Amino acid sequence: MIRVFVCSCFGITEEQVREHAAEGACTPRQVASASKAGTDCGSCVRRIQGILGRGGCPRRTALESSEPVLEPSVEGVAAAALSTASAATAA
């Protein structure tokens, strides 16, 4: 397997950026929070943006395709949690 380094300051590979994106990072800042990539010289930020913009971010791809991000059952749980929280604040 060939390692393609995106961030030479911290030794972060393209594969690692994709893994962070799969775990929910959709912006270079979020990738930086997870890996420090882009937080030193900053020369890799555009490459990270490019990876995230080429289908590297599953959440963004889902949003752009207008597919529901939350499953209906998850939305029901979230709505129930919100109603419980608002009932608790009203009391």
Q: Using CB under 6 A as the criterion, which residues of the chain lie in contact with ligand FES when the complex forms? A: 7-9, 37-44
Measured at the CA of 25, the angle between CA 48 and CA 3, to 5 degrees, comes to 45
Minimum CB distance to ligand FES smaller for 12 or for 57? 12
Cα–Cα distance for residue pair 21/30, rounded to 1 Å: 9
Minimum CB distance to ligand FES smaller for 3 or for 82? 3
CB of 47: closest distance to ligand FES in angstroms?
8
CB of 68: closest distance to ligand FES in angstroms?
35
CB-based burial, 20-40: b 16+ in 10 Å, e otherwise: bbeeebbebebbbebbebbbe
CB of 60: closest distance to ligand FES in angstroms?
21
